[in-house]
Structure 1
Amino acid sequence: MVQQLTPETKPEIIYPDSDGKPMFDNTKQYQWIVKIKENLEIIFAENPDVFIAGDLLWYPAEGSVKTRQAPDVMVVFGRPKGDRGSYKQCSENNIAPQVVFEILSPGNRTKEMAEKMLFYQRYGVEEYYVYDPDTIELVGYLKNQEWLEEIEEINNWVSPRLGIRFELISDNLEIYYPDGRKFLTSVELHQQLEQEKQRAEQEYERAEKEQQKYQDLLAKLQAKGIDINTI
């Protein structure tokens, strides 16, 4: 009797969706993460193949659940928008995030940031930006062959991938859309929309008043027997 061997089934690899670490250490760090992430979402809203995420675990190596990072913000060109519990590169056509942002907090250690730098360099990040909102210091790195090299002049630097411009002023970092508009918080965006709405309403009211003046003048002329069509 010949015994048939049942092929072994490989156990499913579980990639955790959380590393147990908090997304942010303070409100300032959180505000910058949201500001950058949401404004980038607006820029690429019409492009279905740009995936943007904040504090999402990225697994670059198939089968290795310990090889991971959770960038504060990451941008992936060539992958569709949509919800994900984590970014498993082996399930994403092996496309690595091209742009990564990290927002520093007092809890970030030098060793930790050095390890992140090496990780992003090793796994194919093309642009890496680190911002410290307490010291108003921005450092950027650009991939040159296999290495991430520091951008010498970051002030007024335009991201090759994103098209956004960074401007360092005395007490803040400003980031600008490709068309020159400034990155705004959700509150500032709401205030801007309200102002535009008020201007539109005021313009409508002005046009209505002008129309009413015209109608009143027309009625007076007609009352005097004047036909404006003959004027």
Structure 2
Amino acid sequence: MVAQLPQTTASPIVYPDDDGLPMSDNTLQFEWIMTFYYNLDWLFADNPEVFVAGNLLWYPVEGQVKTRQAPDIMVVFGARKGYRGSYKQWQEKNIAPQVVFEILSPGNTQTEMNRKLIFYNLHGVEEYYIYDPHKNELSGLLRPQESETGDRHLQVIEEMQGWTSLRLGIRFELSEETLQVYRPDGQSFATYLEAQQQLEQAQRLAEAEAQRAEQAEAALAAEQRKAQLLAERLRQMGINPDEL
């Protein structure tokens, strides 16, 4: 009799949701990451097929746990909104993030950034933007749709001043002090604090306008009541107010 060997069941592959690295090294970098995240999320809030994430691990290839990257910001057209522990591309109709942002800190090394560029170039990113808020330097790379040589690798955008993202429709303007980013409607990106202040100001204006409308309505009602009383007195005096 031949003994049957017990069948072994392969353990499921675990894709960690955390790479152990901090999202930011300092408050300036963190503020810019959140500014890009919130404004892009607001920009596409009405489109359920645009997913915006910050510091989320992206696994482009099933089974390759070590092949991963966590862009500071990534935007995916064609992926539904929703919560994820990581972005597993094979579970997302194999759609790669089309746009990624990296916000630099003094701790970023050239070797690290080269590694990220190779990753984004290899795995299909169409637009790659890098901003150093400490030096106020912005650079961008774009994957050409067509090329005479057939080369569709990410290529440097020669002039970023006034550049408008093909995918996002946002425009970049660099001043001597900082970066300004404008939405397609011409409104500038706002920090979370600025957005809250704008919201509170809009609420105060709306409340003041509602109060003015109530006061105007009350004044009109008072005038109408006075007119009614006057008409009643005229009738008591034998005068028909409708004939005046």
Q: TM-score under structure 2 normalisation?
A: 0.86
Counterpart of 1:102?
A: 102
Counterpart of 1:125?
A: 125
Q: 1:207 to 1:228 in 2, by over 3 A?
A: farther
Distance in 2 separating the partners of 1:11 and 1:212: 74
Offset at residue 196 of structure 1 (A): 0.9
Question: 2:161 matched to 1:155?
Answer: yes
Decide which moves more: 210-219 or 52-61: 210-219
Offset at residue 9 of structure 1 (A): 4.1
Question: 2:195 matched to 1:214?
Answer: no
Distance in 2 separating the partners of 1:230 and 1:5: 112
Distance in 2 separating the partners of 1:228 and 1:142: 78
Matches within 5 A, 1:167-186: 167-186=173-192
Counterpart of 2:69?
A: 69
Distance in 1 separating the partners of 2:241 and 2:14: 82
Offset at residue 146 of structure 1 (A): 2.4
Distance in 2 separating the partners of 1:229 and 1:113: 85
Would you say the 8 A contact 1:50–1:78 is kept in 2?
yes
RMSD over aligned CA atoms reads 2.2
Would you say the 8 A contact 1:221–1:228 is kept in 2?
no
Offset at residue 2 of structure 1 (A): 7.7
Matches within 5 A, 1:27-106: 27-106=27-106
Q: Report the secondary structure of 1:51's partner residue.
A: strand
Q: Report the secondary structure of 2:116's partner residue.
A: helix
Per-residue CA distance 1:148-170 (angstroms, 9 max, x = gap)? 11111211211111111111122
Distance in 2 separating the partners of 1:136 and 1:151: 17
Offset at residue 81 of structure 1 (A): 1.4
Counterpart of 1:16?
A: 16
Decide which moves more: 215-224 or 154-163: 215-224
Structure exhibiting the larger radius of gyration computed from Cα positions = 2
Distance in 1 separating the partners of 2:241 and 2:21: 77
Distance in 2 separating the partners of 1:123 and 1:230: 85
Quote the sequence identity (%). 55
